[in-house]
Structure 1
Amino acid sequence: MVKLIVVSNRLPINVSKREGELKFQPSVGGLATGIKSFYKSFNSIWVGWPGVFRENLSDGEKVFVEERLKHENCHPVWLSKHDVENYYYGFSNKTLWPLFHYFPTYVVHENRFWKSYVKVNRLFADEVAKLLKPGDIVWVHDYHLMLVPRFIRDKIPDATIGFFLHIPFPSFEIFRLLPWRKELLEGVLGADLIGFHTYDYAKHFMESVRYILGYENSLNYIFTQDRLIRVDAFPMGIDYEKFVNMALAPNVRREVKRLKNKLKTEKVILSVDRLDYSKGIIQKLEAYGKFLNKRPDFRERVTLVLVVVPSRTRVEHYTRLKKKIDELVGRINGKFGTINWMPIWYLYKSLPFHRLIALYRAADVLLVTALRDGMNLVAKEFVAVNDAGVLILSEMAGAAKELCEALIINPNNIPEIVNAIKVALTMENEEKIRRNKSMRERLKRYDVIRWAQDFIERLLQIKRKQEEMITKRLSARV
């Protein structure tokens, strides 16, 4: 039976070893959560790192983990601490992440990081090759594994391979700064179908391919020396029904009631971000502070619930950002707070799913100020569960292309954000419902299952097109 092999940096299950005991828990993170919603609806196996270092397990423990993961249709790629330090914290998150999010001054160019990235990508490709059978489909995900499609193609020339990038692909002028630009493009071009969240990202990729590698493209097709490759946009959806149903659950309703009783303010603005300089958290706080300064009539009537999920705390820029956020929150609470009112509720932690849904339900406004964001699924989740909430959304997030009824802002324009907060807090209920109705219908129609199905259908289409071209060439020779 044909199977789908999903390949990503992390598995949906995190394995840890504490005091000699192995523990298995669901992985946190947007990619793992998003893909988890659809991969079990296919005949699938998921290939990725389980989260525990190779050297920390005995051979017997590795066998035990492999057997346990097999029951969840997962296959581990074993990485050492050195691999993770250089491939993940190094090249992936000190080189690719800042460059692709338009922070070129944050980029670290280290040859040892690149060598580790190549090595680990080969390890992933080797594990996929062990599982791959004729007719199987390989779907490689994200910036950690941009060389994997080419490495698989070199081993199995007729493999059916898709690649999806979940972060922005930068403009040619930014991407060309990378010393290993050719190798990365050639790596991705090992795929038959290359997907992005928006047409802008797809266009940037094709421009880089044309200017750096010299391959022409037309109507979203790239023509290499021996293959035809399709590039297209697939805006990732959410598991709409899961979120809607969870919003009606008794424990969520109880949590919403508890939150409202505890907050005791007329209006609640919510912010949910992973700790990252690309999320515009500083701009958000500056705008909120200016709003309270400009509109004293809203003091003690509104609370900003600021949820920051810890991430990459060992990377220097993230440590600095955390310090800035702490200082700014303290300054705003110190300046405007009273005995009975705290302007900002600051939560630096990951929240259980039911509590996150309750916050979405309790909030009047969701404020998204990303400086760059591949998609931003938080915006979609909020709209799905809150039919009368107002979404303020950065135009730099991929979701802005779909959620056009939101209040769209430029995250660098602080006065514009201040005005959007005022508009959101004073918007009539009928207007809120009207805006959200259109967005909710769109999210329901194009959910994560539809997203995955569309990608796979398009992948099989390009494979058939390639076969037709080969047949025509052979016929012409005869």
Structure 2
Amino acid sequence: MSRLVVVSNRIAPPDDKKSSAGGLAVGILGALKAAGGLWFGWSGEIGNEDAPLKKVTRDNITWASFNLSEEDHEQYYNQFSNAVLWPAFHYRLDLVNFQRDAWEGYQRVNSLLADKLKPLVKEDDILWIHDYHLLPFAAELRKRGINNRIGFFLHIPFPTPEIFNALPPHKELLEQLCDYDLLGFQTENDRVAFLDSLATQTRLTAHGKHAHSAYGKTFRTEVYPIGIEPDEIAEQAAGPLPPKLEQLKKELGSIKNIFSVERLDYSKGLPERFQAFEALLEKFPQHHGKIRYTQIAPTSRGDVQAYQDIRHLLETEAGRINGKYGQLGWTPLYYLNQHFDRKLLMKVFRYADVGLVTPLRDGMNLVAKEYVAAQDPKNPGVLVLSRFAGAANELTSALLVNPYDRDEVAAALDRALTMPLAERIARHSEMLEIVQKNDINHWQESFIADLKQVTPRSDESQLQSKVATFPKLA
């Protein structure tokens, strides 16, 4: 049986409870437990990158991690992955800060990681590479003679050609991506955007709907919307409330809760969300004193100026809105710039009358699915969801909105707050069925099953050479 090798920018070691709590770690570990294998990635530490790999083995899984030098981390991670690829892939070319040294550092680290991984790869291993930090990784492995099956999954959106091809190294990145055997995307729009970008730069030949060739390489593209563990989330949400939350629930009484939790990131549309809530207070004054909007947004990449600017803006806007609409005994907007335990958030989700998830652009957005899974099926809340989140392709029974249209979002919030129970149950039931069907295990099982169907490149080249020697038929 083929062993699975997973490569990601960061790994979740078995003894690190905090890092292993997320949905991605659950999916990867599920795949690794089924096949046995290796999880390879950065340790999260800055240090001597020539130091031996740190290895930990539990049952049939080995975790292998490495350090990065300060320069490599700065160029590969901060300056290129997060200051070029992240904003561009989220349609923010205005925030792209391209530096040639950073691009070279990004390529150098991918080359370094290929050198570190090569001795660990066995002949029949299948490799699963994750996310935008590692776009050139398969190309580096191919240079080193690794012809194993290699799949890639992009967790964030893939932008349209007008955006992607504005990046100075777009041609190199596109050709490098074609060294993967299977490229997985969150949505059909992302898959098509990749192919459209490719078609503007070179001859792209289709071999059926999902098989292609370009730059003399053959590969497949598929859509695999990532999921969650709905049963576990439902169990966490349904348990008894901690004393402080129970007290808060009593204090709120009949006040309805609008709840959001996102990383503090410009792709999440948080300033626009605050403006939409202000429009709700302005246009629907009947809700004054009867609702509360709580926004949790822990800091991410706090050393980046764009993130500092968002934090300052949100603090200012929260104070202004509360100053304008607040009353004695009623504060309409609570903004919390801090981290909360994920299990606790699931309980908060269950008692939120409205889940407000309105990113400007998102690969999937698992918060939307977690909110659905956490609800009480007999008395569920309503999900207000951006149509630009990947989750909108599946959760079509949510109230879908344009996050740039504050009045549309405000109207959707009013509708959510006043929606009859029967409609809430019907909408939630339809979404829960999809969340349960397309869960995290379905995601990883589908991808791995398709990757196993790929013919290894060594076998493919041998087959082509044999075909080339066949005599031509008259």
- TM-score by length of structure 1 reads 0.91
Q: 1:44 aligns with which of 22, 34, 37?
A: 37
Q: 1:271 aligns with which of 231, 248, 260?
A: 260
Tell me the residue number matched to 2:224. Answer: 234
Q: 1:418 aligns with which of 401, 410, 413?
A: 410
Distance (Å, rounded) in 1 between the aligned partners of 2:327 and 2:78: 42
Q: Does 1:442 align with 2:434?
A: yes
1:331-370 matches, cutoff 5 A: 331-370=320-359
Contact 1:259 1:362 in 2 (8 A): no
Distance (Å, rounded) in 2 between the aligned partners of 1:84 and 1:32: 22
SS in structure 2 opposite 1:437? Answer: helix
Q: 1:458 aligns with which of 450, 454, 459?
A: 450
Q: 1:407 aligns with which of 358, 374, 399?
A: 399
1:355 CA drift (Å): 1.1
1:50 corresponds to which letter in structure 2? Answer: S
Contact 2:239 2:347 in 1 (8 A): no
Tell me the residue number matched to 2:11. Answer: 11
Q: Does 1:180 align with 2:180?
A: no
- Describe the superposition over 1:70-100 as per-residue Cα deviations: whole angstroms up to 9, x where unpaired: 7873110221122221111110111011111
Distance (Å, rounded) in 1 between the aligned partners of 2:133 and 2:200: 23
1:227 CA drift (Å): 3.5
1:424 corresponds to which letter in structure 2? Answer: A
2:232 corresponds to which letter in structure 1? Answer: K
Distance (Å, rounded) in 1 between the aligned partners of 2:156 and 2:92: 13
Q: CA 1:466–1:416 in structure 2 vs 1: closer, same or farther (change >3 Å)?
A: farther
Tell me the residue number matched to 1:155. Answer: 144
Q: CA 1:203–1:140 in structure 2 vs 1: closer, same or farther (change >3 Å)?
A: same
Count of aligned pairs between the two proteins: 464
1:311 CA drift (Å): 0.3
Q: Percent identity?
A: 36
Q: Does 1:243 align with 2:233?
A: yes
Q: CA 1:361–1:239 in structure 2 vs 1: closer, same or farther (change >3 Å)?
A: same
Q: CA 1:70–1:54 in structure 2 vs 1: closer, same or farther (change >3 Å)?
A: farther
SS in structure 1 opposite 2:445? Answer: helix
Distance (Å, rounded) in 2 between the aligned partners of 1:295 and 1:344: 15
Distance (Å, rounded) in 1 between the aligned partners of 2:137 and 2:445: 22
2:2 corresponds to which letter in structure 1? Answer: V
2:220 corresponds to which letter in structure 1? Answer: R
1:462 CA drift (Å): 2.7
Contact 1:37 1:239 in 2 (8 A): no
Contact 2:56 2:64 in 1 (8 A): no
Q: 1:216 aligns with which of 188, 205, 230?
A: 205
1:119 CA drift (Å): 1.2
Distance (Å, rounded) in 1 between the aligned partners of 2:244 and 2:437: 29
1:446 CA drift (Å): 1.4
Q: CA 1:237–1:282 in structure 2 vs 1: closer, same or farther (change >3 Å)?
A: same
1:477 CA drift (Å): 2.2
1:409 CA drift (Å): 0.2
Q: CA 1:177–1:28 in structure 2 vs 1: closer, same or farther (change >3 Å)?
A: farther
Tell me the residue number matched to 2:46. Answer: 53
Distance (Å, rounded) in 2 between the aligned partners of 1:465 and 1:112: 33
Contact 1:13 1:26 in 2 (8 A): no
Distance (Å, rounded) in 1 between the aligned partners of 2:105 and 2:457: 36
1:46 corresponds to which letter in structure 2? Answer: W
SS in structure 1 opposite 2:127? Answer: strand
Q: CA 1:73–1:157 in structure 2 vs 1: closer, same or farther (change >3 Å)?
A: closer
CA-atom RMSD in angstroms: 2.4
2:418 corresponds to which letter in structure 1? Answer: T
Tell me the residue number matched to 1:90. Answer: 79
1:164 CA drift (Å): 0.5
2:319 corresponds to which letter in structure 1? Answer: G
Tell me the residue number matched to 2:95. Answer: 106
Contact 1:365 1:391 in 2 (8 A): yes
Contact 2:31 2:445 in 1 (8 A): no
Contact 2:149 2:455 in 1 (8 A): yes
Distance (Å, rounded) in 2 between the aligned partners of 1:40 and 1:276: 31
Distance (Å, rounded) in 1 between the aligned partners of 2:340 and 2:31: 24
Q: Does 1:137 align with 2:126?
A: yes
Distance (Å, rounded) in 1 between the aligned partners of 2:437 and 2:243: 29
1:192 corresponds to which letter in structure 2? Answer: D
- TM-score by length of structure 2 reads 0.92
1:280 corresponds to which letter in structure 2? Answer: G
1:107 corresponds to which letter in structure 2? Answer: V
Q: CA 1:58–1:149 in structure 2 vs 1: closer, same or farther (change >3 Å)?
A: closer
Contact 2:178 2:217 in 1 (8 A): no
1:241 corresponds to which letter in structure 2? Answer: D
Distance (Å, rounded) in 2 between the aligned partners of 1:306 and 1:186: 41
Gaps of 5+ in 2: none
Q: CA 1:254–1:245 in structure 2 vs 1: closer, same or farther (change >3 Å)?
A: farther
SS in structure 2 opposite 1:462? Answer: coil
Distance (Å, rounded) in 2 between the aligned partners of 1:259 and 1:69: 44
1:306-321 matches, cutoff 5 A: 306-321=295-310
Distance (Å, rounded) in 1 between the aligned partners of 2:168 and 2:365: 29
1:51 corresponds to which letter in structure 2? Answer: G
Distance (Å, rounded) in 2 between the aligned partners of 1:191 and 1:89: 25
Tell me the residue number matched to 1:116. Answer: 105
Q: Mean alpha-carbon deviation: is it higher for 361-370 or for 458-467? A: 458-467
2:286 corresponds to which letter in structure 1? Answer: D
